[in-house]
């Protein structure tokens, strides 16, 4: 089944985040105290303070992964991993690495990704892990956050480097996390600029407040011929194949890759799909639904002009492709 990745904003979604944290900790046999919270306070674990962003991944309605980012505040004690702490209240950042100097040099608003939880059976799925980070970073970019700190573990280094994280210090063994970590930082603006460069129809970015991610495994159906068009997808990584039904035969007519938008006309017209779409490889897509899309159009009718620009380019591309098929 496809994996849906979105911001956790409703009470039910936050409850799912908390349930997932407890279940993963139970599976690992690790204690709650001090492992995933940034202070020793119980309230911190339950995300009651403002400006906290959670991302949640669902498969078949069940939560399977989550990330959390919190505002970065310099630790009360300096000295990084070698400090002695008051057990009643401490800061996990201070036990692992002190980012105070880096934060002062970089300026601007900083966040820290302090929770990364993925169920064991999904912990090696590249498209899922990348989409989790991208969903969170996209949200932070829209909120004008300047940079993000992360204690990168060896199993995540491949993904964080691809996203643009850079090392702030040498790797070291963290007693708290029980593994080797590398203190790292990401320039959120540079990440967003890189993301934008890969999009062909940039007008669609005006609707980014409604974006979420979907990850498809090879062979999974993304869209089905004849169904109502309630969702549009922008391919962020991977490839999909377009299939049509002609004379009772399924015929592949195109392969579509990164940066392309699919299904946007049905999103507006609510007409049925004229083709089926299937994932050829692990594919991560940015998606937005008709319901949220129409609500935004009602609030900001001037955005219709951006969609007309997308439609005109799409129509021209479709006509060019049809002309090629007719010649062949």
Cα separation, 232 vs 228, in Å, equals 11
pLDDT by residue (tens digit) across 277-307? Answer: 999 999 999 998 888 777 777 777 776 666 6
pLDDT by residue (tens digit) across 305-314? Answer: 666 666 666 6
SS3 content of the chain, % helix, strand, coil (to 5): 40, 30, 30
**Can you tell me whether residue 12 is helix, strand or coil?**
helix
pLDDT by residue (tens digit) across 90-123? Answer: 445 556 788 888 888 888 999 999 888 888 888 8
The CATH architecture one would assign to domain 3-195 is: 3-Layer(aba) Sandwich (3.40)
- Report the CATH number of the 203-327 domain: 2.60.120.10
Residues contacting residue 325 through CB under 8 Å, at least 6 positions apart = 253
Cα separation, 231 vs 222, in Å, equals 10
Cα separation, 141 vs 193, in Å, equals 10
pLDDT by residue (tens digit) across 39-51? Answer: 444 445 556 567 8
Positive or negative, the Cα torsion across 4, 6, 12, 14? positive
Sequence ranges of the domains in the chain:
3-195, 203-327
Least confident of 25-39, 73-87, 94-108, 239-253: 73-87
The model's pTM is 0.79
Q: DSSP string spanning 184-202?
A: EEEEHHHHHHHHHHT-S-G
């Amino acid at each position: 089944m496809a994996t849906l990745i979105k911001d956790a904003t409703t009470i039910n979604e936050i409850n799912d985040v908390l349930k997932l944290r407890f279940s993963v900790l139970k599976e690992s046999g690790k204690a709650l105290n001090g492992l995933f919270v940034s202070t020793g306070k119980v309230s911190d674990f339950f995300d009651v303070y403002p400006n906290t962003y959670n991302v949640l991944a669902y498969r078949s309605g069940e939560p399977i992964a989550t990330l959390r980012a919190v505002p970065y505040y310099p630790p009360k004690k300096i000295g990084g991993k070698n400090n002695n702490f008051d057990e009643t209240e401490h800061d996990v950042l201070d036990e692992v690495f002190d980012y105070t100097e880096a934060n002062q040099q970089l300026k601007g608003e900083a966040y820290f990704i302090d929770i990364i939880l993925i169920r064991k059976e999904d912990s090696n799925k590249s498209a899922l892990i990348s989409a989790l980070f991208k969903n969170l970073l996209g949200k932070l970019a829209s909120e004008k956050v300047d940079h993000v700190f992360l204690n990168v573990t060896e199993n995540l280094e491949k993904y964080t480097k691809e996203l643009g994280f850079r090392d702030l210090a040498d790797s070291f063994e963290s007693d708290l996390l029980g593994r080797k970590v590398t203190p790292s930082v990401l320039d959120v603006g540079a990440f967003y600029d890189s993301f934008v460069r890969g999009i062909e129809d940039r007008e669609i970015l005006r609707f980014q407040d409604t974006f979420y991610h979907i990850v498809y495994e090879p062979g999974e159906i993304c869209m089905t011929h004849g169904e109502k068009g309630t969702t549009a997808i922008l391919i962020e990584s991977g490839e999909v194949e377009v299939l049509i039904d002609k004379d009772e035969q399924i015929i592949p007519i195109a392969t579509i890759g990164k940066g392309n938008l699919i299904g946007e006309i049905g999103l507006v017209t609510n007409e049925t799909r004229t083709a089926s779409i299937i994932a050829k490889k692990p594919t991560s897509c940015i998606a937005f639904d008709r319901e949220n899309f129409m609500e935004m159009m009602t609030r900001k009718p001037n955005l219709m002009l951006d969609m007309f620009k997308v439609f005109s380019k799409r129509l021209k591309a479709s006509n060019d492709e049809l002309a090629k098929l007719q010649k062949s």
